[in-house]
């Protein structure tokens, strides 16, 4: 997997991202995540549907638990 040139920091330290940068208008690559019941779910399972992704680092922290009602990062992906 190749390094990404996007500059990102975590706690003021540089972080190296891997993979290709996804830009507005690009097709989303297929990926697998875990559902609330810890079963694997693929993005391609929702082909032909609008998908809203809500991403947050961890629900194990009090601060993030407070913000789970509002999204830290949201993306909307529509498959043709």
pLDDT at residue 74, as a whole number: 47
Q: Is the pLDDT of residue 72 over 80?
A: no
* 3-class secondary-structure state, position 64: helix
Predicted confidence band of residue 71 (pLDDT cuts 50, 70, 90): very low
Contact, 29 vs 55, CB < 8 A? no
Instruction: Tell me which residue of 52, 49, 51 sits closest to 71, measured CA to CA.
Output: 52
pLDDT tens-place string over residues 18-37: 888 788 888 888 888 888 78
CA dist 14 and 6 (Å) reads 10
CA dist 3 and 59 (Å) reads 28
pLDDT at residue 56, as a whole number: 61
pLDDT tens-place string over residues 46-59: 888 888 776 665 55
């Amino acid at each position: 997997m190749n390094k990404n040139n996007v500059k990102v920091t975590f706690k003021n330290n540089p972080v190296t991202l891997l993979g290709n940068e996804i830009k507005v208008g690009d097709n989303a690559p297929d990926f697998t995540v875990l559902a609330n019941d810890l079963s694997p779910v693929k993005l391609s399972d929702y082909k032909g549907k609008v998908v809203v992704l809500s991403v947050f680092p961890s629900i194990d922290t009090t601060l993030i638990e407070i913000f789970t009602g509002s999204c830290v990062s949201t993306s909307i992906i529509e498959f043709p």
